[in-house]
Amino acid sequence: VQLVESGGGFVQAGGPLRLSCSASGSIYRDAYMGWYRQAPGKMRELVAGFRSDGNINYLDHVKGRSTLSRGDAKNTLSLQMNSLKPKDTTAYYCALIMRGGIYWGQGTQVTVSS
């Protein structure tokens, strides 16, 4: 399984950013995807992700200003983040969870300038 991310970069505080992820390989139908983030020296944490029941979990910090959605193509995922804040600055990782395993993308850096 391979995950390819795109959409990271530099953005001014208050602006929007859209992260996209495409997964390929042998993927079971019951796999589900999400976005995580990890700051240096900290644990990786869920930003927004589908659960196995199809509902979505959002990190409290991004609730109300972020939307997770599946793409039109199979096994694609997007995270629209609005009203970005400097503390959103970190590396973001796409994840695919499948049959007890988790696969990661290479990560994409988001930097929000004040």
How far is C-alpha 36 from the chain's CA centre? 5
Report pLDDT for 100.
86
Report pLDDT for 33.
96
Neighbour-count burial of 12, counting CB atoms closer than 10 A to its CB (0-12 exposed, 13-18 middle, 19+ buried): exposed
Q: Show the low-confidence residues of the chain (pLDDT under 70).
A: none
Report pLDDT for 72.
80
Report pLDDT for 41.
94
